[in-house]
Amino acid sequence: MAFVAEPPPLRRDWLAELLDGLGNVPADVDWLLLALTATEPKKQFETDPLADALSKYVASLAPSLLAALLEGISKLLNRKLVVEQRHCEISMRYSWLGQVAGQIVVKII
């Protein structure tokens, strides 16, 4: 899609709208990970339509694609700058994806 070809940062609300029509094939998961990488950081203390839309997408995602999405999100969570809390390092920019990663793990189990 042309959306990821736009210069970063990509708008979170626009990506949230696009997730509603995103499919259930490996290319769609790859596209989503590329878009998440280029998406503007989440603003603190603001509602986030992207987090909600991503949660709904994960809930509808085919089980065969969960591992690929989790691996991509894990790479984002491990990016620098990190916040260290009790022996856990997580990317400040992508920390909002932690809840989604947990949702994927629960769905895999």
Over the stretch 1-60, which tens digit does the pLDDT of each residue have? Answer: 689 989 899 999 999 999 999 999 999 999 999 999 999 999 988 899 999 999 999 999
Q: In this structure, are residues 1 and 22 in contact, taking their beta carbons and an 8 Å threshold?
A: no
Q: Return the beta strands (E) in the chain as ranges.
A: 82-84, 89-91
**pLDDT value of position 89:** 74
Q: Is the pTM of this model over 0.75?
A: yes
The predicted structure's pLDDT at residue 91: 81
Q: Confidence class of residue 69 from pLDDT cuts 50, 70 and 90?
A: very high
Two structure tokens written together for 61: 């995602």
pLDDT at 92: 81
Q: H/E element holding 3? A: none
Question: Of 5-14, 64-73, 90-99, where does mean pLDDT reach its minimum?
Answer: 90-99
Q: Which two tokens stand for residue 58?
A: 């994960």
Residue 36 is predicted with a pLDDT of 97
